[in-house]
Structure 1
Amino acid sequence: MSQPARKSTRLLLDGNLVAEARALKIDLSQAAEEGIAKALRAERERLWRLESAEAIRFHNEYVEKHGLPLAKYRQF
């Protein structure tokens, strides 16, 4: 699988964090990329929950009222 295209970016970071990361030989680019990816996942999940809230509520109400569909086939 090929590497995604890299893009040079300028970031302003806390100087103490940068110094400590460098002292511990942490790759700043990799750490920043991982942090951004984590923030993206969290935001996508938050947005999905907002967009899906009504459907989830309807589903939960249905299950409370009628039980789980196919429950009679459960073996546990």
Structure 2
Amino acid sequence: MQNAGEAATNSAVRKPTNLSLDAALLSEEKALQVNLSRAAEDGVRSAVSAAKSEQWKKENAPALRSSNAYVEKKGLLR
């Protein structure tokens, strides 16, 4: 069974892209027969996810602080 990332990877439209990568890393990739496009895509997907998470935290920080202050003052149960 595929997870959401695998399903998106298999059905996504691909666009050729040029990358500059560490030469030693590329040598290892070739020796180990790693699918470079798939590995790069997985890495970019992970970086985008992390960036979205950080963006969400920044955008929602005031609401989270307000909620935490309310809970500190009034408690969780009323």
C-alpha separation in 2, matches of 1:5 and 1:29 = 13
1:50 is the counterpart of 2:58: yes
Q: CA deviation at 1:4?
A: 1.1
Q: Structure 2: where are the runs of 5+ without partners?
A: 1-6
Moved over 6 A (4+): none
C-alpha separation in 2, matches of 1:4 and 1:30 = 12
Q: TM-score, normalised by structure 1?
A: 0.85
Partner deviation per Cα, 1:3-61 (whole Å, 9 max, x = no partner): 11111111111110011011111100000000000000000001110010000000000
Equivalent AA in structure 2 for residue 24 of structure 1: L
Q: TM-score, normalised by structure 2?
A: 0.83
C-alpha separation in 2, matches of 1:67 and 1:56 = 15
Q: Structure 1: where are the runs of 5+ without partners?
A: none
Partner of 1:62: 70
- Identity in percent: 43
Partner of 1:41: 49
